[in-house]
Amino acid sequence: MSASTLPTYFEHSWAILSSIGIANVLFGLTVIGITNLSQISLHPVIVSAAGAIANGLCYYAFYADYSRTPTAVASAFADMTWLVQEVGLTFYSYLILIRVLQDRHRIIFMSLFWVFVVAATVVRCFIAATRVKSILDPSLSLQSTIDHLHIGYFSLIAVIECLSSFFLLRKFAQAHRASQDVFSKSGLFSYLLRSTEIRLATLALIGVSRAITYSSQSAAQSATSVASQIDRFVYTMETMFPVMLL
């Protein structure tokens, strides 16, 4: 693409998505400044920063006009930071569950969680390697392979969220039965349960939706069909999601 026909950075949705990530980082740091630094409060900042970097690199790798080697490097770094953002979101539930689960349930959850996280990481590495290969050798037609890898990747993320939802809501239900009188008077438990259900259901829905819609990609990181535009919308919701965790 020539410099004369290349749209400026903020003419692309990736610039807006990157800006949302930066805004989330600033919101997160504000919350940390008001409250205190903890793993839970730092989590939205990390995933938002990763998303901001990934979306900025996406423009460099897939829209700007640079030589193949720096483009391939930018693509690989974008995939790795997307990994931090997308799989990193699942660690919100993990950070809660490792504190409340005990004994056998804790071992089962942690074992299954890390198996799926490692699997998603491996698939994302394959995606990154395949993209780099297609950039360095444009004669190869690998978009279909990349699409299928993404289906597996987002499906694994959805499975992780469903797993976390099961254990977390089960733990809340046990706590409710054990302290029903206290919580029924204050309404605190109902609030916690509903907010947790909404957060986890939203994350699971995002994973399932992206597994379905990403398969329609016909060109690298381009929303050229209705389904791929829906995928871009779902990803926008995913980028904004850390605000719900603050």
Q: How many H helices and E strands in the chain? A: 10, 0
CA pair distance 62, 15, nearest whole angstrom: 13
Task: Give the three-class secondary structure for 188.
Answer: helix
pLDDT value for 2: 46
pLDDT tens for residues 193-214?
666 767 777 777 777 777 777 7
Q: Classify residue 89 by burial, with Cβ atoms within 10 Å: 0-12, 13-18, 19+.
A: buried
- The Cα 188–Cα 222 span in angstroms is 45
Segment among 41-45, 89-93, 128-132, 138-142 with least mean pLDDT: 138-142
Higher local confidence (pLDDT), 115 or 220:
115
Say how far apart CA 210 and CA 53 lie, in whole Å.
Answer: 20
Residues 57-70, mean pLDDT to the nearest whole number: 86
d(CA 26, CA 213) in angstroms, rounded, equals 31
How far apart CA 40 and CA 18 sit, in angstroms, is 22
Mean pLDDT over each residue of the chain, to the nearest integer? 82
Q: What does the pLDDT average to over 172-182? A: 63
User: Phi and psi of 62, rounded to 5°?
Assistant: -115, -5
